[in-house]
Structure 1
């Protein structure tokens, strides 16, 4: 079992913009005084540069074009509706915003099935009818090696669905509540937490309940992770939203935004460099308007390649 992969799914946006349907629960989204066309064009430039830099470093990308219709302003964040596991399982997740459910396009899954071995598809979308959501690897931060699923509860991360998922895939749930400086639930776990093979970046300050905080610390330490703590102020700059990605030669890149990297202290950067190469990329428009960052743009593919 690997914690990181060199295969990544990305979706090139067709109509990126501010999503009013997700804004209420995502404090990281911001309206900007620019035309819709300019916002989209800037986001596409950022996406293309992001993808080019990953490919140049030897990361294998499957890039799917978003469709113009129906409009899907958050299509650039595919990790929220699907995950692709090493045993051949594909999981489809219940998503809160109706216009985000449209991102679960069957043709994307068909393309994955052409290139990789898929043995089964687990579709949890039925929970949308009960208004119980679990938005992929936004809601769940997986420790695949130790079979642990970390989940911070919010409107988009429902306890019942976490337990249902963990029962199906035989992972141990570690559930807590993480809130920002204003007491609002942090909408996705991967905004305040990143778990790699040997280290974890986590905002313990956001977990106000001491028992829950101690449980997270104990779980990470017992599974052999060095904890690199970030502050709530750093989380505002997406310093928790990172993903370890492997290159074809097996080296580990920690992909993050420039905003996240700039928010880190020298000590934090040096500690990360003991394990991997920090790999910051500029995605200011996508972060500011979309309210998601580098990790959200990448859906890991752990599936075996087809012959």
Structure 2
């Protein structure tokens, strides 16, 4: 199912057991922020990007090293070298994602590398990286689903938030992902059901306003949805472990979080500092420790911790 109807989606989703596949990744990879700078083309539809003079390349590299070291407490984390000619190519989850078909229906199926199509030409060369594609093809042994050459923008797990345990997708439509692109991603990930919704004006990616944590908890900012009722409907599926964020917390990237293990959720230092005691307790009640990494320099690029992390399933 792929639908804009929250009621129809939830009627199906409530019957989906958490048997689609592992809820969290077995590894993750990053791309280092070499030549980190403001890309004016990307800034056209990313209001979170700082002014050019606010970018600090050395600080971003130091934060990125600390991020890799911190996340390695939960899963193996490796990094590909960045390209100085690609000034904002530090967010590989928009370009590369991995997926496995329904584990119960296709237990022997090979994992897939999904390559997305970026909206802006300044980021489109990332999809052609032979080293990343070759690593997954020759070392990991994935099959490849290449969406990068078709005309519809589909910026993978930036636009599509996935509940890996149940095989459910939540796709925020914007200039970075249209309905046709959403359908292509739904098929590439082999999902059971995907809910389409419009992001609020000025929002570019669903993963800034929504996070599913190990299939059992949720962070959501209703203000980031064109229709806030959609956020509340999604939250009902994860109750009582749904944490609703304020617009201020969304702006601090509290929704741009990830669980790489069943016991911990990671977000930036600024995001963690924005949470109130009740929200921290709600995450603890869901079984999560809170991990945080200072990322002020990287956040100048308009994304935060989750945007930096491409998962390997």
TM-score, with structure 1 as normaliser: 0.85
User: 1:261-306 CA deviation, whole Å, 9 max, x = no partner?
Assistant: 0111111111112221111100101102x0000000100000xxxx
State how 1:39-54 maps to structure 2 within 5 Å.
39-54=56-71
Q: Measured at CA, do residues 219 and 284 of structure 1 come closer, stay the same or move farther in structure 2, by a change above 3 Å? A: closer
- Aligned pair partner of 2:277 in 266, 281, 289: 266
Are 1:226 and 2:246 matched, yes or no? no
SS at match of 2:280: helix
Give the root-mean-square deviation of aligned CA atoms.
Answer: 1.9
Gaps of 5+ in 1: 303-307
Q: Measured at CA, do residues 225 and 121 of structure 1 come closer, stay the same or move farther in structure 2, by a change above 3 Å? A: farther
Whether contact under 8 Å (1:19, 1:73) holds in the other structure is: yes
Gaps of 5+ in 2: 1-20, 102-110
Whether contact under 8 Å (2:217, 2:238) holds in the other structure is: no
Moved more, 271-280 or 163-172: 163-172
Supply the distance in 1 between the matched residues of 2:224 and 2:38 (Cα, whole angstroms).
Answer: 26
Are 1:141 and 2:161 matched, yes or no? yes
- Aligned pair partner of 1:62 in 64, 78, 88: 78
Are 1:27 and 2:27 matched, yes or no? no
Whether contact under 8 Å (1:234, 1:264) holds in the other structure is: yes
- Which stretches of structure 1, 4 residues or more, deviate above 6 A after TM superposition? none
Supply the distance in 1 between the matched residues of 2:266 and 2:61 (Cα, whole angstroms).
Answer: 18
| Cα shift at 1:33 | 3.0
Whether contact under 8 Å (1:177, 1:185) holds in the other structure is: no
- Aligned pair partner of 2:86 in 59, 72, 77: 72
| Cα shift at 1:24 | 1.1
Supply the distance in 1 between the matched residues of 2:160 and 2:148 (Cα, whole angstroms).
Answer: 15
Count residues in correspondence.
280
Counterpart for residue 85 of structure 1: 99
Supply the distance in 2 between the matched residues of 1:136 and 1:209 (Cα, whole angstroms).
Answer: 22
